[in-house]
Amino acid sequence: MAVAYRQVKFYQTGSFAVGGRLLDTPERTVQSGMTRTNALTLGHRACQGCGEALGARYVLDAAMHATGNKVIAANATGCLEVFTTPYPETSWQVPWLHSVFGNAAAVGSGIAAALRAKGRTDIRVVAQAGDGGTVDIGIGCLSGMFERNDDVLFVCYDNEAYMNTGVQRSGSTPPAARTATTEAVGDEPGNPWGQGKDMPRIAMAHEIPYVATATVAELHDLEYKVEKAMEYRGARYIHILVPCPLGWGSEPADTIRLARLAKETGIFPVFEAEKGEVIAASKIRSKVPVEDYLSLQRRYAHLFKPARRDDVIGAIQDSADRNIRRFGLLGEV
């Protein structure tokens, strides 16, 4: 499988830093530019170190860059909507529509239909939601949008629970994680084991033109995927892991580190797919055990104290290893 994006073999900072004075401009990220849109401006009320605030700016700035600043965004209820738009303030510096919790995909479809009716093929639509608004209440509208192949890029900011309403579990909450509704009690503490909803693969099953996953830790890869998605017409889906210090019980300073560890452990596979087939996966650069990831988060504290739960940690390791096999995550970077 190919590498997801062209890595610049650059000696001081490789493809990993945001920019760099020694890189040619096209090899720098959109975020490194002094004229980036800053789709989300100063003064938003996200928690310290919020991965979702960061991910949303990354995505929309890249989409603006790719389209010559012609983007309309639709937004489901969730943290991203609440911390950016307490009436009458807004942090958005792009045309932006609020929707309800479950219908961001339908609103996106509607905007796309209106633009088509007006013959405005130049303006592009991005619909966005948290994991709850995507995999749970929003899945019906989203599946419809996929099925009709509406010309919308749908982005899920996955922080693995309903954060805005106080950290309740969602269909995207990982096994064993503690949330307000899956307390760390009993023999099988935390979120029960099951398959959860693997939304990227559900999207792939719709055989839409483009599906990708990304994290806030690898900006070049994330921007590459957003810009690539804007090259397609039809339904596209990007699923982005955005650590949440509040819900995960992690240090605000560790947000990017955690996203990086999620990928390096194999817990969160980073790949892209066209028409239902995986075309590339980001290799793990230096594999680390899942424990390195889990132990930085209080939502997994019960796996280490009062007694160490090697059975549970082992089961999480097994599922990471399954991802590594399934997506071929090891090998030459």
Partner 1 sequence: MMERPFAITLEVGSSRANKTGSWRTQRPVYVDRLPPCNDACPAGENIQGWLYRAEEGDYEGAWRVLMEDNPMPAVMGRVCYHNCETACNRANLDEAVGINAVERFLGDRALTSGWRVGVDRPGRAGRVLVIGAGPSGLSAAYHLRRRGHAVTIYEASTASGGMMRFGIPAYRLPRNVLDGEIQRIVDMGVEIEFGHKVRDLMIEMEGGGYDAVYLATGAEIARNAYIPAGDSARILDALSLLRSAEGMTYPQLGRSVVVYGGGNTAMDAARTAKRLGASEAIVVYRRTRDRMPAHDLEVEEALEEGIKMRWLSTIKKADAEKLLLEKMELDATGFPQPTGEFEELEADCVVLAVGEEADLSLLQNVPGLDMSGGIVHVDSTMMTSYPGLFAGGDISQAERTVTAAIGNGKKAARHIDLWLKSGGMQAGLPGDPSDKGYHQAPSGERHRIAGWGDLNTWYYSDAPATVRLKLDMVRRQSTFDEVVLGLDENNALFEARRCLSCGNCFECDNCYGVCPDNAVVKLGPGMRYEFDYDYCKGCGICASECPCGAIEMVLEET
Ligand X SMILES: Cc1ncc(C[n+]2csc(CCOP(=O)(O)OP(=O)(O)O)c2C)c(N)n1
For partner 1, the binding residues (CB under 8 A) are 7, 9-22, 28-29, 31-32, 34, 38, 40-46, 48-51, 53-54, 57, 84, 86-91, 219, 245, 251-257, 260
- C-beta separation of 62 from 227 below 8 A: yes
Any contact of residue 78 with ligand X (CB under 6 A)?
yes
Alpha carbons within 13 angstroms on the beta-carbon side of residue 317 total 13
Tokens of 233: 């017409």
Q: Which of 129, 141, 216, 273 binds ligand X (CB under 6 A)?
A: 129
Q: Which is nearer to ligand SF4, 166 or 314 (CB)?
A: 166
Q: Binding string, 306-325, against ligand X, x = CB under 6 A?
A: --------------------
Nearest to 172 by CA among 203, 194, 141, 196: 196
CB of 133 to ligand X, least distance (A): 4
From 66-74, 151-159, 212-220, 283-291, span contacting Mg ion (CB under 5 A): 151-159
- C-beta separation of 204 from 276 below 8 A: yes
Any contact of residue 244 with ligand SF4 (CB under 6 A)?
yes
DSSP state of 5: S
Any contact of residue 159 with ligand SF4 (CB under 6 A)?
yes
Q: How many residues does the chain have?
A: 333
- C-beta separation of 105 from 137 below 8 A: no
How many angstroms separate the CA atoms of 131 and 250, rounded? 19
Q: Residue 185: CB partners within 8 Å, gap ≥ 6?
A: none
Residue 276 three-state SS? coil
Amino acid at 206: H
Any contact of residue 177 with ligand SF4 (CB under 6 A)?
no
Q: What is the dihedral of CA 264, 269, 272, 274, to 10 degrees?
A: 160
Work out what residue 165 binds among ligand SF4, ligand X, Mg ion, none; the CB cut-off runs from 5 to 8 Å by kind: ligand X
Q: What is the 3-state secondary structure (H, E, C) of 107-152?
A: HHHHHHHHHHHHCCCCCEEEEEEEHHHHHHCCHHHHHHHHHCCCCE
Q: Which of 52, 81, 131, 223 binds ligand SF4 (CB under 6 A)?
A: 52
Q: Which is nearer to partner 1, 14 or 289 (CB)?
A: 14
Work out what residue 246 binds among partner 1, ligand X, ligand SF4, none; the CB cut-off runs from 5 to 8 Å by kind: ligand SF4
Q: Which is nearer to partner 1, 201 or 298 (CB)?
A: 298
Any contact of residue 77 with Mg ion (CB under 5 A)?
no
Q: Which is nearer to ligand SF4, 244 or 294 (CB)?
A: 244
Amino acid at 54: L
Q: Are strands 277-281 and 271-274 parallel, antiparallel or unpaired?
A: antiparallel
Any contact of residue 159 with Mg ion (CB under 5 A)?
yes
Any contact of residue 133 with ligand X (CB under 6 A)?
yes
Alpha carbons within 13 angstroms on the beta-carbon side of residue 193 total 9
CB of 28 to partner 1, least distance (A): 7
Work out what residue 198 binds among partner 1, ligand SF4, Mg ion, none; the CB cut-off runs from 5 to 8 Å by kind: none
Work out what residue 28 binds among Mg ion, partner 1, ligand SF4, none; the CB cut-off runs from 5 to 8 Å by kind: partner 1
Residues of this chain that interact with ligand SF4 (CB under 6 A) are 46-47, 50, 52, 79, 83, 159, 163-164, 244-247
Residues of this chain that interact with ligand X (CB under 6 A) are 52, 77-80, 100-102, 129-133, 159, 162-165, 170
